[in-house]
Structure 1
Amino acid sequence: RLYWEGIKQFGFGERTGIELPGEENGIVHDYKTWPASTIGALAIGQSISVTPLQLLRAVCTIANGGYLVSPTIIKEVKLGEGQDPGHGEREDDRIISEETALSVRDMMLAVVEDGTGKNAQIEDINVCGKTGTAEKANQNGFGYSEGRNITSFIGFAPYEDPEIAIIIVVDEPTGPERTVWGGTVAAPVFKEIMEYSLERIKVLK
């Protein structure tokens, strides 16, 4: 139950509330229905379905020191005096301690510096990230399809004072056997977009 509560605390299984149509809840089964293998499966990203925005929201919790953010596409609302814009300030909830967030941030830094995310390295910037390579479920609902993957890279920068978080998802990339991974396919795309973004906000010159 504690595991399930932790998953739900990060917002998985429900919409983020962003002002865009078509957002999905994802799938998080009630812990009362879990077979014995579920905890092990969840640890490698199976038996659960999440959206890229939900995943990015969770990683932003690591970047900002433990607060679950409420994503929005609205920067500012201005109306005449006495008018209610109908879009008040959203409150963010602390869901993990700052110490825990920093520990995970350190791990994500190590992924890029010494692990599978080296292709996301940016000169003079400490980047935090995590690679992902997921098998796609069979359309009949049983098992996973061999050779059909989703590769991803998610991360933020700079490590010291995060400004931007990005997720890259590539559906069914192709290439030589054992070369199509999150670190080889999605990480280079992340690097290119992050470099451009940091230059735009004057963090990277």
Structure 2
Amino acid sequence: MYQYIDETYEGVDFSYSDKRDGELQHCTFKKCSFRGTSLEEINTIGCSFIECDFRDAGLNASIHNDSAFMNCQFSGANLFVAKFINCKMTGSDFAAAQLDGVTLSKGDWSYTNLRNHNLSKQDLRDIRFIEADLYSCNLQKADLRGADLTGAHLVKTNLQGTDFRGAILDGVDFKALDLKGARMDMSHGAAFLRALGAKVD
């Protein structure tokens, strides 16, 4: 097992290297490439990854606490049973990534691309999904209580049994959603009626 503490890297190419089973504490990586890198079972604490490339990387069983992955590319990455705890993921792209068994606990996932992913039955309480692309996601029976979904793209998303109580849904296109079976607040009901053109006093 290796350990990096308070290290800073910019523009470094770690592609296709073996970085498994390590611990990174309060490190900063800017515009670094981890393409195809073996990062299984790594543990990051308070790290920042800015505009980094994780395409096709192996991140399964990795654990991330209070780390930031901003505007990073995860296309084709393996994130099987990975855990992101209170992480800032803004602007990152997870197209065609493997997210089976992933854990998202709080944190900021605004402006992320999570299209077509299966997040059913996930505990997604209090997460920020502002303007996140959740097109055609499976959110069946997901717990989104207290989440901020302002402007989120939810077209063709499976919302059967999804719990939106206490969630912020400002700017969401209710007319494009199938909300049958979803749990909502009275305030959401009023917003839904306004979206259909009704006047709510």
* TM-score, shorter chain, exceeding 0.5: no
- Higher helix fraction (1 or 2): 1
Q: If the length of structure 2 is used for normalisation, what is the TM-score?
A: 0.24
Task: Say which structure, 1 or 2, has more relative contact order (CA 8 Å, 6+ apart).
Answer: 1
